[in-house]
Structure 1
Amino acid sequence: MNQEWNAAWREQMLPTLADENWDLIVIGGGISGAGIVREAARRGWRCLLLEQRDFAWGTSSRSSKMVHGGLRYIAKGQWRLTRDSVRERQRLLDEAPGLVEPMSFLMPHYRGGFPGPRVLGGLLSVYDALAGRRSHRFHDAQQLRFIAPGLKENDLIGGTSFVDALTDDARLVMRVLSEARADGAVVLNGLRVAQLLREEGRVSGVAVEDCESGETLHLRCGVLAVATGAWAERLRPSDSPRQLRPLRGSHLVLPGWRLPVAQALTFLHARDRRPVFVFPWEGATVVGTTDLDHREDLDHSASISGEELDYLLAACTQAFPAAEVTAMDALSTWSGVRPVVGAAGAHQDKPSNETREHVLWQEPGCVTLAGGKLTTFRPQAIEVLKACADMLGRAFEDDAAPVFAAVQPSLIPGLSPQQWRRLAGRHGRDLPKLAQLIAEVGQETVGITDTLWAELAFACEAEMVLHLDDLLLRRTRLGLLLARGGEEHFAAIRTLCQPRLAWSDGRWQAEIQRYRLLWQRDHGLPEITP
């Protein structure tokens, strides 16, 4: 694997792409596309992944960060989805410690409320049975005063806890892509597929525009896999029925000290009885999520609305009335669009009632993945590749091999075991290179976050950063965790990163201006009208 995976390498690689007759081209650099190219590369396929914007730019950096089985899917009778999810959750916990970590979830029970302890306990017994281990227990109201201080106590009778997991979704994508590249895959961002090429009624390749230079390439492949999430219908034949129902989920990020929680709290919002969460993430506290039809242009980033902000603040007041959280407490927001496959008459039904099951759409030479979940990216990838293998006339089976190579246990001098675990989880095979940069740059973290300055340096040198938002919103999450997107650190970031990115002073200024506008639009607070 070429560790210097950066803009200079990209420039050298682009002219060579058309010389290859690829076995597989994957369109989409989110978790679904990453999973597909990872499994294909491991099997020796000559494969290429193309992402129009940046890796994890869409839903895969804007999810609720939860690697979970989906407890509510049991109540809806979606047994297969829940079973697959809890199995994959455990796989990820075992294979990627430090990146996917267990998290205790707590649901409080109030007198006369639903679900009560018995109903929830019954659902969790099934959940635990599917997972093969018991993780839930009931706590009385007295215990909750210590477990969840500040929780509304009026009519509180207790709470039920269970275990799921949290992740940094964008880093999960990068780790999977790193594994694919180690097995020979070519992975590129900033390349827009403008058109599918067809020969004798079969998809045979793609016409691609380089979003950085405007140049066009024509690439050939044996089979094409489309994994573009909410954009999955863009490349389908025009006479195909429209089935996707884009649903927006928005989140509010608060400083950890402003609403401190030791575990994830889940409860039903008083306004619409939808489950919402308040949970610790990367030293901050996240409140989410909403669930409503996203009717805006998908080519523009989703952003929180005033109504959604009010909804999430009301959730804070409902669960923690004494905290008196307001909009001015927010560090940032994020909104993602879920690629949900709508059922018949879906737009007359509640968004939260939609299934999170995935489907495959096939035409000769092309397989499109629609729908699905973050947690089940691996079995979804296997299903896509089985269909692709049939089109290529190849044998294929799921050997259930690990997604991630094991990280050799070692300690970086001066870092705690907890810091090493975090870095090993996020960087995997790249840890030796990162260790060299830690020795060069030092062990200091950026502000109050856990992110090392060396991680910024590493991203600039070896993680295909094309724009400043790639660095601050996806390679690291500083733009979400620091006030005003990290503005107080811009001078230091420039000193460290501008030389490594080989940007001129003019380019840096243009990137700063672009980032400020993007952050305010996509991650700031909406305009609040009196």
Structure 2
Amino acid sequence: MSAIYDLLVIGGGINGAGIARDAAGRGMRVLLVEKDDLASHTSSASTKLVHGGLRYLEHYEFRLVAESLREREVLLRNAPHIIWPLRFVMPHEPTMRPKWMLRLGLVLYDRIGGKMSLPRSKRVDLRIAPHRGVLQDRLAAGFEYSDCWVEDARLVVLSAKDAEERGAEVLVRTECTDLERSAESWSAALRDKEGERKVSARAVINAAGPFVDRVAKVALGQGTPAHLRLVKGSHIIVSRRFPGEHAYIFQQPDGRIVFAIPYERDFTLIGTTDLLHEGNLDAVRISDEETRYLCDAASRYFASAITVEEIASTYAGVRPLYEDNAASNSTVTRDYVFELEAEGGAPILSVYGGKITTYRKLAEHALDRLGKVLALPGKPWTAHAPLPGGDMPDGDFAAFLWRASERYSWVPPEMLLRLARAYGTRMDRVLGTATSLDDLGQDFGGTLFEAELRYLVDQEFARTAEDALWRRSKLGLHLPTQARQAVAEWFAARA
């Protein structure tokens, strides 16, 4: 007999995890399935920002910007360990947008979302530290404004974890291979390494990201009525290019913008691109064209050029944008759109577009939309609910870190900061009853010990070394090849 659920959510990216969390918290019986790892595609390949989208103002997407800025406040309050404020410096390029336009846009950005907790924008002199010598001498003035950084893949994992703790079942590396519809429910075939099984659900939400049309065709025999534009965004990671904890936002001759952001202490993240993607969705890679574009984009501003040879790593992802017939990929709306198919049987809701910043609101709206054709329990609740590890008094990460340093005086400061950022108040579950580093098991180097890997497997759905080193952490950037191989062997021994 197949298991019976209220809701089957297909797709373990940010939208799917957010929807599963919201639904489980309302008392629904939820199953979330992901064919690979959580956040293994688009949701771990972002520019890692929780932001309003300053450039969206230029395209008159005022509602999206206002909602995003309000959501920025909500997420910062509910996940202060993995989300934190970041100041962005935009040099004024005389050949591009005039100063009055930039200033006007920033004044609107400061106010359109209502009362904000972050500092407002201001003018900045680029001829003094910390910008002097970093940027080219021709750049004398600019503007500075606030947004937030987010550990994107951890946001997905923690949302899925919270869903599980509220009663949802979360299955990774489990593909939905078939969907059969009746008047009252869906029958879904699920396949993992153990084989195939059947489950039933009153409704399906297709949150498969770039694979949304693939799932819709399995369910309905054809794609959904919406059109999808698949846009690839790629990033390069180079050695640290400038001091300070601010980021830069560089305007480009083609009208786009490119960010240069402090990354993982030792690096600078540069991105992103916007190219139509027509290739294999399971193997998305940066192209030589994109690599050159990003190097050139940053080199227009930095005093010393970015070269291909200094790239330490790259990543790329495909954004499943709703096709609004915009002239260029960079101007396609980042808003989200739902396609609800409820005629002729049990409902299926497909999700198009969206952005990390609005994932929580998207989840509310998705369930509201589904609730128009299906009786659902509960009400929206996530606005004031911290994510796992985010329940710090007053959301004060600095105070939390200070208390942790007193409690775990034997943990090296660099390791303590990394664990506090990753796990927040659940850091004690990682360290357990240990009173010294020797109590944490095998030492893999780079502040990684066996106790953390055990936690990632037992509590955060990690199944491979890649899951642990590149999504739940970014330790893959810091560990030498031999250490990464040792982690892979540890996982292999558990298989």
TM-score (ref. length: structure 1): 0.82
- Equivalent residues in 2 for 1:308-347, closer than 5 Å: 308-322=290-304, 324-344=305-325, 346=326
* 1:392-416, Cα deviation, whole Å (9 max, x unpaired): 3235543433252553555241247
Q: 1:291 aligns with which of 263, 271, 274?
A: 274
Task: Kindly provide the CA deviation profile for residues 184-219 of structure 1, in whole angstroms up to 9, marking residues without a partner as x.
Answer: 11111011111212114x652311111x23x22111
Tell me the equivalent position of 1:252: 236
Q: Using the alignment, how far apart are the partners of 1:141 and 1:194 within structure 2?
A: 55
Counterpart for residue 468 of structure 1:
465
Closer/same/farther in 2, CA of residues 467 and 492 from structure 1, 3 Å limit: closer
Deviation by residue 1:50-73 (Cα, 9 ceiling, x = unmatched): 001110011011111011000111
User: Displacement of 1:116 after TM fit?
Assistant: 3.1
Matches of 1:308 and 1:371 in 2, distance apart? 22
Distance verdict in 2 for CA 1:313–1:125, change over 3 Å: same
1:413 pairs, out of 408, 415, 432, with: 408
* 1:386-425 aligned within 5 A: 386-394=368-376, 397-399=379-381, 400-404=383-387, 406-407=390-391, 409=400, 410-411=403-404, 412-414=407-409, 415=411, 422-425=418-421
- Please report how far the alpha carbon of residue 443 of structure 1 lies from its aligned counterpart in structure 2 after TM superposition: 12
Distance apart, 1:442 and its partner CA = 7.4
Q: What are the ranges of 5 or more consecutive residues in structure 2 without an aligned counterpart?
A: 393-399
Q: Does 1:352 align with 2:330?
A: yes
Cα 1:407–1:418 change in 2 (3 A) is farther
* Structure 1 segment 118-157 matched on structure 2, within 5 A: 118-131=100-113, 132-133=115-116, 134-143=119-128, 145-147=129-131, 149-154=133-138, 156-157=139-140
Q: Structure 1 197/424 Cα, relative in aligned 2: closer, same or farther at 3 Å?
A: farther
Q: How many Å apart are 1:418 and its aligned residue? A: 8.2
Give the TM-score normalised by the residue count of structure 2.
Answer: 0.87
Name the SS of the counterpart of 2:134 in structure 1: coil
Q: For residues 148 and 441 of structure 1, what CA distance do their matches in structure 2 show? A: 44
CA deviation after TM superposition for structure 1 residue 491, in Å: 5.2
2:280 and 2:355 map into 1 onto residues whose CA distance is 22
The alignment status of 1:435 with 2:431, answered yes or no, reads yes
CA shift, 1:482, in A, is 3.3
* Count of paired positions: 466
Counterparts of residues 14-33 of structure 1 (less than 5 Å)? 19-33=2-16
Q: 1:332 to 1:398 in 2, by over 3 A?
A: same
| 1:382–1:398 Cα contact (<8 Å) kept | yes
CA RMSD of aligned residues (A): 2.5
Give 5+ residue unaligned stretches, structure 1. 1-17, 504-530
**Distance in 2 between residues matched to 1:250 and 1:494, nearest whole Å:** 26
Name the CA shift for 1:397/1:491 in 2 (closer, same or farther; >3 Å): closer
Shift in Å, 1:158:
0.6
Shift in Å, 1:478: 2.3
Structure 2 counterpart of 1:101: 84
User: Residue 432 of structure 2 aligns to a residue in which SS?
Assistant: helix
Q: 2:483 aligns with which of 481, 489, 496?
A: 489
2:489 is equivalent to residue 502 of structure 1? no
Name 1:34's counterpart in structure 2. 17
Q: 2:154 aligns with which of 162, 171, 174?
A: 171
Percent of residue pairs identical: 32
**2:45 maps to 1:62:** yes
Q: How far did 1:368 drift?
A: 1.2
> What amino acid maps onto 2:474 in structure 1?
R
**Residues in 2 aligned to 1:164 and 1:453: alpha-carbon distance in whole angstroms:** 35
Change (3 A) 1:287 1:185: same
2:366 maps to 384
Q: Which amino acid aligns with 2:370?
A: C
Alpha-carbon shift at residue 147 of structure 1 (Å): 3.8
For the Cα contact (< 8 Å) 2:465–2:488, is it kept in 1?
Answer: no
Task: Sort the Cα spacing of 1:421 and 1:115 in 2 relative to 1 into closer, same or farther, 3 A.
Answer: same
Deviation track 1:140-192 (CA, whole Å, cap 9, x = no partner) reads 2333x4346410112x2311000101111111111111211111111110111
Shift of 1:420: 5.2
Contact in 2 for aligned 1:316/1:325 (Cα 8 Å): yes
CA contact (8 A) 2:78 2:384 kept: no
Contact 1:67/1:167 (8 A) holds in 2: yes
Whether the 8 Å contact between 1:386 and 1:397 is mirrored in structure 2 is: no
Does residue 216 of the first structure (1) align with residue 199 of the second (2)?
Answer: no
Residue in 2 that maps onto 1:514: none
Q: Aligned to 1:160, what secondary structure does the other structure show? A: strand
Instruction: Specify whether residues 422 and 43 from structure 1 end up closer, same or farther in structure 2 by C-alpha distance, changes over 3 A only.
Output: farther
